Amino acid sequence: MRESPQIQTVAPDVARIRRRLLAWYDAHGRALPWRTPVGRADPYRVWLSEVMLQQTTVAAAIPYYEAFVARWPTVRDLAEADLDAVLHAWQGLGYYARAHNLHAAARIVVRDHEGRFPDNAESLRSLPGVGEYTAAAVAAIAFSRTEAVVDSNVVRVLGRLLAADEPLDVADARIRALARELAPSRRPGDHAQAMMDLGATVCAPRAPICGVCPLSGDCAAFPTGRPESFPRRPPKALRPRRQGVVFWTLGGDGRVLLRKRPLTGLLAGLMEFPSTDWREKPWGIIEARAQAPAKAAWRLIEGTVRHSFTHFDLDLAVLSGRVDAETSLGCCSQWRWCALERLGDHALPTVMRKVARHALGHDPSAVGLGQVS
């Protein structure tokens, strides 16, 4: 069996890493719509992009970012917007708590800070949805503060520079200490973005392109011949699978029934088609019908709608039924009848848009689904 080369444990040359990283960034950094020359960054746009990039890829975030700044070009515009409009614009980006926090934080910036973002990480952290990473990123990029900005890309790059072989929760302290050591006083925002870009484009999770990496001479993982194995990844947690039954409820006039979800919890404040609870135990049809919004001749639509949330996978069966407009609906929900061609006007989460496509795909009289795609 071939032995792996020994891991070198030389202390990183901080000045050389900074210099090489910035030189690489100046030549190869990504051109992204929220990036501006040093000293001209708009804190609102930096913050908006960083919130969108939590849990979302750059490619997926760009069209949302551009739509948001076109519609709400300043933090004051966003603060004055209706929450429903913000949730609707966020539709499809997922993790809707971010949209709630975005709106709440904009209002706080306007109400408590005269429309100006706090200019340091500690004060930024007082805003809803702004954690350690986002605060450090906004402080470094928008206000040139010397901050260690550590996202998953940076953990990977630094974990490899150190050839961190211990479990990631143990290696974390070493990685963060190196991030703090590396954070420069000159161009701290560019340094942070350079580290992110290197992780995203060169030091990729499974196949790092070490041959073009400006830090290969400083990287302890590179000479091992297996850089992709650093830092050691924690085992993947198993996600539970939940089941639910959705009621595709058509009125006599062809409109479909929606309801608003509670303002807290999963998919807070978004619209949905009525459904049973989502639980791990499968639903029997009779048991599910007891949670229907009204009495109807419910018919099972063939097939299953599948969706993955962060912490669980979901399988939804869909029952279709027609009810009279006069039918009294179950209490305690904010019901809304909606013409099928107006579904796109509502903040429907991706899972509910899948339900609509599924139901309409089985309805020969269905209208096109362009509005909810």
| Min separation Cβ 191 and ligand SF4, Å | 15
Pairing between β-strand 271-272 and β-strand 299-308 as defined by DSSP bridges:
unpaired
Q: At what angle do helices 188-201 and 152-161 cross, to 10 degrees?
A: 80
Which residue's CB is nearer to ligand SF4, number 50 or number 197? 197
| Min separation Cβ 12 and ligand SF4, Å | 11
Please tell me the chain's helix, strand, coil percentages from 3-state DSSP, rounded to the nearest 5: 45, 15, 45
Q: How far is CA 215 from CA 41, 77, 290, in A?
A: 27, 42, 62
Question: Is 199:154 a contact under the CB 8 Å cutoff?
Answer: yes
Biggest CA pair distance of the chain: 77
| Min separation Cβ 213 and ligand SF4, Å | 3
Q: How far apart are CA 302 and CA 44, in angstroms?
A: 47
Residue labelled with tokens 């974990």: 159
Q: How far apart are CA 48 and CA 288, in angstroms?
A: 41
Q: How far apart are CA 8 and CA 165, in angstroms?
A: 12
| Min separation Cβ 18 and ligand SF4, Å | 14
Q: How far apart are CA 164 and CA 178, in angstroms?
A: 12
**Catalytic residue list contains 50:** yes
CA 162 to the chain's CA centroid: 29
| Min separation Cβ 158 and ligand SF4, Å | 9
| Min separation Cβ 287 and ligand SF4, Å | 53
Which residue's CB is nearer to ligand SF4, number 51 or number 157? 157
Q: How far apart are CA 324 and CA 11, in angstroms?
A: 75
**Total number of residues that touch ligand SF4 (CB under 6 A):** 14
Interacting span for ligand SF4 (CB under 6 A) from 118-126, 157-165, 255-263, 317-325: 157-165
Asked if residue 157 binds ligand SF4 (CB under 6 A), the reply is yes
Which residue's CB is nearer to ligand SF4, number 202 or number 245? 202
Which residue's CB is nearer to ligand SF4, number 81 or number 198? 198
Which residue's CB is nearer to ligand SF4, number 127 or number 149? 149
**In the structure encoding, which two tokens stand for residue 229, read together?**
């194995």
**In the structure encoding, which two tokens stand for residue 233, read together?**
């990844």
| Min separation Cβ 240 and ligand SF4, Å | 34
Interacting span for ligand SF4 (CB under 6 A) from 61-69, 154-162, 285-293, 295-303: 154-162
Q: How far apart are CA 49 and CA 34, in angstroms?
A: 7
Which residue's CB is nearer to ligand SF4, number 213 or number 351? 213
For ligand SF4, the binding residues in 183-242 under the rule CB under 6 A are 202-203, 208, 210, 213, 215-216, 219, 221-222, 227
Q: How far apart are CA 135 and CA 310, in angstroms?
A: 23
Integer-rounded Cα radius of gyration of the chain: 25
Of 50, 147, 228, 272, the catalytic one is 50
Which residue's CB is nearer to ligand SF4, number 212 or number 285? 212
Site of interaction with ligand SF4 (CB under 6 A): 157, 160-161, 202-203, 208, 210, 213, 215-216, 219, 221-222, 227
Which residues are catalytically annotated?
50
